[in-house]
Amino acid sequence: MEFRIVTKALKYIVIGVFALWTLIPLAWIVSLAFKSYAEWRVSYFVPKNPTTDNFVLLFKPEELLGRYGVMGATAIIEPATKPLINSLIVTAATTFLAVFIGFFTAYGASRYRAPGPFTLFFTLLTRMLPPAIFITPIMVYYSNLGLLDTYFGLVFLYSAVTVTYAIWILKGFIDAVPVEWEEAAMLEGATPIKVVFKVVLPLVRPGLVVAGLFIFLLTWSELLFALVLTNISAVTLPVHISKYVGAVGQLFGPQAALALIGSIIPVAIGYAIQKHLVTGFTFGMVRG
Amino acid sequence: MSREMARSVKLLATLPLNILLNAILIIPFAIMIYLAFLKWSPAMGIDWWEAAFVGVANFVRALGDARFVNALTNTVIYTVSTVSIEFLLGLLLAYLMLGEFTGKKAVLSLIIYPLMLPPVIVASVFYLMFQPYGPVNNVFLRAVLGDDALRITWFLNPRLAFTALIIADIWQWTPFIFLILYSALSAVPRRLVEAAQVLGASSFTIFWRIRLPLIKPLIIVAVVLRALEAFKMFDYAYLMTGGGPGVSTETISLYIYRVSVLYTDISYAAAMSLVVLVMLALVIRLFIWYFFERVR
C-alpha cells in the first residue's frame, strides 16, 4: 500500500515538473515583454514597474534613438506594422489557395483514385524534405520570373508545400460522404460540377476549416523561404523577428513583445483545432 | 454517369494541383539538376543557361568539403540526440497521463502549447533565456553553481551552444511525440487491458507487454516524422547560434542557405542539395514502403 502511494506521488511530481518546464519560458517572455529597459538584464520574473513601452517601440522604432541614445541608433529596425500585415495577407491567401486546390484533389483522390501515386508521393516528399533543398532553384527561378519579394511568389510556393495537408485531411472527410447521395443528385439532373459544389462542399465544411487552420498555422511560422524570397516589400513576421535576435544593442524587451504578438494567433488557432492536431501532423497516417 | 464524363471530372479535379506542382516545384527541380552540373554564380554576370558545363566537379567538391561533412555530422548528431530524448520523455509522459486525475485537461492543454508556437518564436525565447544574465544562469544554475553560473556564456562555447539548441528542440517537440503516443495508447481496447488485469498482471507489465507492442507502428511513425523534421532544423540554429561559434552548430540547412544566399555559389549549393535529397529520398521511400505498400 505504501509503495502505491509513493509511486502515485512520484507520478504527480514528474507531471508537475514537466508542466513547470513548459511554463517557464512562456512566463519569462511575458515578463520580459512588460519590463522597462532597466530590468531587461535582471532575472526576477515579476517586473517592478510594468510598462507597455516595448510594444510601442515595435511600431515606432525611431523612438529608440531618443530613449537609448547611441545604443538605440545602431539598432533601429523597421516598424513591425508592415511585416504583420504582410504575414496576414500571405497566410490568408495561401490558406485559401491550398484548401481550394486540396479540396478538388481530395475529391479526385477519394472518388476516382486520382491523381495517381507519383503525384501523391511527390506532395508527401515536399513536406518531408528540408526546405533548404528547394531554396537554391526557387531563388534562381523566381528571379528570372520576377517573383522575388512579391506576395504571389510566396503564396504559390507556400501553397505548393502545404497542399499535402489539405489533400490528406480532406480526403478523410470526403470518404465519409456517401456516394449514393451524389448519385441521387445526379439522377435529379445535377451536373457533376454542381454535385461537387452543392452536395459535397457543404458536407465537408468542418474539414475545410480544420485543413485551413492547420495550413494557416504552418504558413504563419515559416522562416526559411521567406528569408530567401523576400527583401523589402514582402517581408513576413518571422523574418522580422529574426532581425531582432542579436540586433546590435540587444533589444530584449521589444524582441519578447514581438514574440508574444506573433504567438497569439497561432496558439489560438492551435487550440481551436486541438482535436485534429495528430491527424494534421501525421498527414492522416495515424488511424489510432 | 458516362465513362467520358467521369474521366473529365477526374482530370478537372486534379488540374489545379498539377498546374501548381509543375509551375512551382517540378520546373525548379529540373533547373536544379541542370545547375548542379554547371559552374555558375550570379556574380559571374551571365545567365545560368550560358554557364559552362563542368560535369560532376560540384559533387566531387561536396564530398571533399570539410564544412559540408561537418554540417552533415552536426545535423545527424542533433537529430539522433533530440529524437531519442524526446521519445523517452514523450513515452514516459504519455504513460503517466493515461490514468484519470483532477486537472488532467488543464495539464494536457498546457503541455501541448509549445507545439503551436512558430519555431522562430521558440528560438527567440530561448535566445533570451540563455543570455548570460537570463533566468537559466541567474536562477537555475546559480542555485547549483553559485555566482560562477553568471559567467557561463552559452553561445560562445561550442558544446553549450549545441546543448542550448537541443534544449529548445526538446522543449518544443516532446509534446509532438507525447501527443501521438498518448492518443495511440488511449485507443488500445480496454478489454485487452482488463483481461490482463484479471489474470493478475501488474500495470507495468500491461504497459510493457500489451500496450507498447500494440502501438508499435505509431511509435515508428512518430519517431520517423520527428527525425525528418529535426533533420530540417534551420530556425533554431539561424536565430540562436548563427551556426556558431565558428561552424560548430552549423546544420546542413544553414550551410546550404549560406552557400546559396550569402556566398551566391548557386551551382555548388544545387549539387549539395541533390546529395542531401538523394540520401533522404531513400530513407523516405523506405518509410512509405513500410507503411503503405508492405503486405502485412
A141·B31 Cβ contact <8 A: yes
Chain B touched by A37 (CB under 8 Å): no
Chain A residues with beta carbon closer than 8 angstroms to that of B237: none
Q: Which of A105, A217, A223 sits opposite B120 (nearest CB)?
A: A223
Residue A215 has pLDDT above 70, yes or no: yes
- Average pLDDT rounded to a whole number, residues A3-20: 86
In terms of residues, how long is chain A? Answer: 288
**Rounded to whole angstroms, how far apart are CA atoms B112 and A270?**
9
- Interface A:B, Cβ pairs < 8 A: 286
Return the C-alpha cell found at A130. 528540408
Residue B214 has pLDDT above 70, yes or no: yes
What integer pLDDT is reported at residue B172 of this predicted model? 93
Q: Which of B134, B228, B240 sits opposite A128 (nearest CB)?
A: B228
Mean pLDDT, chain B, integer: 86
A271·B116 Cβ contact <8 A: yes
Long-range CB contacts for residues A28-33, cutoff 8 Å, separation at least 24: A28/A256, A28/B125, A28/B128, A28/B129, A28/B134, A28/B135, A29/A256, A29/A259, A29/A260, A29/B125, A29/B128, A30/A256, A30/A260, A32/A252, A32/A253, A32/A256, A32/B128, A33/A253, A33/A256, A33/A257, A33/A259, A33/A260
What integer pLDDT is reported at residue B42 of this predicted model? 82
* pLDDT digits 0-9 by tens, B73-129: 999 999 999 999 999 999 999 988 887 888 888 888 888 889 888 998 899 889 888
A133·B256 Cβ contact <8 A: yes
For CATH 1.10.3720.10, the residue range(s) in chain A are 81-244
**Rounded to whole angstroms, how far apart are CA atoms A41 and A8?**
40
In terms of residues, how long is chain B? Answer: 296
- Average pLDDT rounded to a whole number, residues A183-207: 86
A88: confidence class by pLDDT, cuts 50, 70, 90: very high
What integer pLDDT is reported at residue A69 of this predicted model? 63
Residue A129 has pLDDT above 90, yes or no: no
A119·B21 Cβ contact <8 A: yes
Which 63-122 residues of chain A touch chain B by CB within 8 A? 100-102, 104-105, 107-108, 112, 114-115, 119, 121-122
Chain B touched by A259 (CB under 8 Å): yes
**CB A201: neighbour CB atoms within 10 A?**
15
Chain A residues with beta carbon closer than 8 angstroms to that of B22: none
Q: Which of B1, B13, B242 sits opposite A108 (nearest CB)?
A: B13
**Rounded to whole angstroms, how far apart are CA atoms B7 and B185?**
43
φ/ψ (deg, to 5) at B38: -110, 170
B128·A128 Cβ contact <8 A: no
Residue B291 has pLDDT above 70, yes or no: yes
What integer pLDDT is reported at residue A288 of this predicted model? 39
Residue A47 has pLDDT above 70, yes or no: yes
Residue B170 has pLDDT above 70, yes or no: yes
CATH of domain B65-293: 1.10.3720.10
Return the C-alpha cell found at B15. 488540374
A130·B128 Cβ contact <8 A: no
Mean pLDDT, chain A, integer: 84
A245·B123 Cβ contact <8 A: yes
Rg (CA), chain B: 24
Return the C-alpha cell found at B270. 544545387
Closest CA to A174 of A201, A212, A198: A201
Residue A265 has pLDDT above 50, yes or no: yes
- Average pLDDT rounded to a whole number, residues A8-13: 86
A93: confidence class by pLDDT, cuts 50, 70, 90: very high
Residue B150 has pLDDT above 90, yes or no: no
Residue A214 has pLDDT above 70, yes or no: yes
A135·B5 Cβ contact <8 A: no
**Locate cell 498546457: which residue?**
B110
Chain B touched by A32 (CB under 8 Å): yes
- Average pLDDT rounded to a whole number, residues B185-213: 84
Percent of chain B with pLDDT over 90: 29
Return the C-alpha cell found at A243. 532581425
Instruction: Give the chain B residue whose CA is nearest to the CA of A267.
Output: B116
Closest CA to A285 of B235, B60, B180: B180
* pLDDT digits 0-9 by tens, B17-61: 888 888 888 899 899 999 999 888 888 878 888 888 888 888 999
**Rounded to whole angstroms, how far apart are CA atoms B245 and B159?**
10
CATH superfamily membership of A81-244: MetI-like (1.10.3720.10)
Output B140 or A35, whichever has higher pLDDT. Answer: A35
8 Å CB contact between A192 and A112: no
Q: Which of A138, A196, A242 sits opposite B28 (nearest CB)?
A: A138
Q: Which of A123, A259, A288 sits opposite B124 (nearest CB)?
A: A259
What integer pLDDT is reported at residue B230 of this predicted model? 92
Return the C-alpha cell found at A128. 518531408
Chain B touched by A50 (CB under 8 Å): no
Closest CA to A138 of B147, B28, B48, B169: B28
Distance of alpha carbon B89 from its chain centroid, rounded? 17
A224·B111 Cβ contact <8 A: no
B128·A252 Cβ contact <8 A: yes
What integer pLDDT is reported at residue A71 of this predicted model? 62
Output B146 or A217, whichever has higher pLDDT. Answer: A217
Identity of residue A56: V
B270·A163 Cβ contact <8 A: no
8 Å CB contact between A127 and A222: no
What integer pLDDT is reported at residue A246 of this predicted model? 66
Number of Cα atoms under 13 Å in the Cβ half of residue B273? 32
Residue-wise DSSP of chain B:
--HHHHHHHHHHHHHHHHHHIIIIIIHHHHHHHHHTTEE--GGGSS-GGGSEE-TTHHHHHHHT-HHHHHHHHHHHHHHHHHHHHHHHHHHHHHHHTSS--TTHHHHHHHHTHHHHS-HHHHHHHHHHHTSTTSHIIIIIIHHHHGGGGGG--GGGSHHHHHHHHHHHHHHHHHHHHHHHHHHHHHTS-HHHHHHHHHTT--HHHHIIIIIHHHTHHHHHHHHHHHHHHHHT--HHIIIIITT-STTTT--HHHHHHIIIIIS--HHHHHHHHHHHHHHHHHHHHHHHIIIIIS--
A173: confidence class by pLDDT, cuts 50, 70, 90: confident
- Average pLDDT rounded to a whole number, residues A98-104: 93
Chain B touched by A286 (CB under 8 Å): yes
Chain A residues with beta carbon closer than 8 angstroms to that of B167: none
**Rounded to whole angstroms, how far apart are CA atoms B57 and B39?**
9
A114·B221 Cβ contact <8 A: no
Output B287 or A131, whichever has higher pLDDT. Answer: A131
**Rounded to whole angstroms, how far apart are CA atoms B38 and B182?**
50
pTM (two decimals): 0.88
Q: Which of A42, A136, A282 sits opposite B133 (nearest CB)?
A: A42
What integer pLDDT is reported at residue B133 of this predicted model? 75
Chain A residues with beta carbon closer than 8 angstroms to that of B121: 241, 259, 262-263
Q: What is the ipTM of this complex?
A: 0.86
For chain B, what are the domain ranges?
65-293
What integer pLDDT is reported at residue A87 of this predicted model? 93
Q: Give how far B92 is from chain A: nearest CA, Å.
A: 9
Mutate which of A128, A165, A222, A231 to test chain B, going by most B C-beta atoms within 10 A? A128
Residue-wise DSSP of chain A:
-HHHHHHHHHHHHHHHHHHHHHHHHHHHHHHHHT--GGGTT---SS-SS---HHHHHHH-TTHHHHHHHHHHHTT----SHHHHHHHHHHHHHHHHHHHHHHHHHHHHHHHH-TT-HHHHHHHHHHHHS-THHHHHHHHHHHHHHT-TTSHHHHHHHHHHHHHHHHHHHHHHHHHTS-HHHHHHHHHTT--HHHHIIIIIHHHTHHHHHHHHHHHHHHHHH--HHHHHH-SSSS--HHHHHHHHTT-TT--HHHHHHHHHHHHHHHHHHHHHTGGGHHHHHTTT----
8 Å CB contact between B276 and A130: yes
